[in-house]
Amino acid sequence: MAKAILILSHQLLSMVEPIKHIAEKSGYTCFILSSASERIEKPQWSFDKYSVHVTNSLHLIHADIDQFLTDYGQGIDFVGCISVWDGYRELMAYANQKLGANDISEDVVVRLRDKLAMRTRLREAGLSAVSCQLLNEDIYQSITTPENYFIKPRTGLASMGTFPAKSLTAYSQLDALWASAAADRNYDGVFSADNGFIIEGFISGTECSFEVSVSDGQSDVLAVHEKLDVVQDTWSVLEGACICPPRSLNAEQTEAGKAFLGKVMQTLGVHTGVYHVEMKCDARNRWEIIEINPRIGGAYIVDSTRVHSGACLLETWLRLITGKPAQRGSRHERTTFFRVFFGQSGRTLQRIERNVTEPQVLLDKVLYKPGDRLPRVEREIFLGMALWDITEMAASQQPDFFNQTNDYLKTEYQP
What is the model's pLDDT at position 270? 98
Helix H or strand E encompassing 152: strand 149-153
- Burial class of residue 244 in the structure, from the number of CB atoms within 10 Å of its CB (0-12 exposed, 13-18 middle, 19+ buried): buried
Q: Which of 115, 95, 69, 102 is nearest to 278 (CA)?
A: 115
Q: Is the dihedral of CA 266, 284, 117, 315 positive or negative?
A: negative
Phi and psi angles of residue 14, each rounded to the nearest 5 degrees, phi first: 75, 40
The full DSSP string for 308-364 is HHS--HHHHHHHHHTTPPP---------EEEEEEE--TT-BEEEEEE---SSPPSEE
Q: Which of 333, 185, 188 is nearest to 246 (CA)?
A: 333
| CA–CA dist 172, 238 (Å, integer) | 24
**Sheet strand arrangement including 336-342:** 287-293, 272-281, 206-215, 218-232, 237-244, 336-342, 382-389, 363-366
SS3 assignment, position 114: coil
* Tens place of pLDDT per residue across the chain (415 aa): 689 999 999 999 999 999 999 999 999 999 999 999 988 877 877 777 778 999 999 999 999 999 999 988 888 999 999 999 999 999 999 999 999 999 999 999 999 999 999 999 999 999 999 999 999 999 999 999 999 999 999 998 767 788 899 999 999 999 888 888 888 888 888 876 677 899 999 999 999 999 999 999 999 999 999 999 887 766 777 788 999 999 999 999 999 999 999 999 999 999 999 999 999 999 899 999 999 999 999 999 999 999 999 999 999 999 999 998 777 666 679 999 999 999 888 899 999 999 999 999 999 999 899 999 998 876 678 899 999 999 999 999 999 999 999 999 999 999 8
Helix H or strand E encompassing 64: helix 62-72
Backbone Cα Rg of the chain: 21
Find the helix packing angle between 106-113 and 89-99, rounded to 10°.
160
Q: Which amino acid is at 23?
A: A
| CA–CA dist 77, 103 (Å, integer) | 17
What is the model's pLDDT at position 378? 65
Overall size of the chain counted in residues: 415
Farthest CA pair distance, the chain = 65
> What is the b/e burial string over 149-170, where b = at least 16 CB atoms within 10 angstroms of the residue's CB?
bbbbbbbbbbbbbbbebeebee
Query: What number does CATH give the domain 335-415?
Result: 3.90.1170
What is the model's pLDDT at position 190? 81
Domain range annotation of the chain: 2-101, 131-201, 335-415
Sequence-distant (≥ 6) Cβ neighbours of residue 171 within 8 angstroms: 137, 140, 141
What is the model's pLDDT at position 68? 94
- Burial class of residue 414 in the structure, from the number of CB atoms within 10 Å of its CB (0-12 exposed, 13-18 middle, 19+ buried): exposed
**Sheet strand arrangement including 132-134:** 132-134, 197-201, 149-153, 163-164
Helix H or strand E encompassing 212: strand 206-215
Q: Which CATH number fits domain 2-101: 3.30.70, 3.30.1490, 3.90.1280, 3.40.50?
A: 3.40.50
| CA–CA dist 344, 405 (Å, integer) | 19
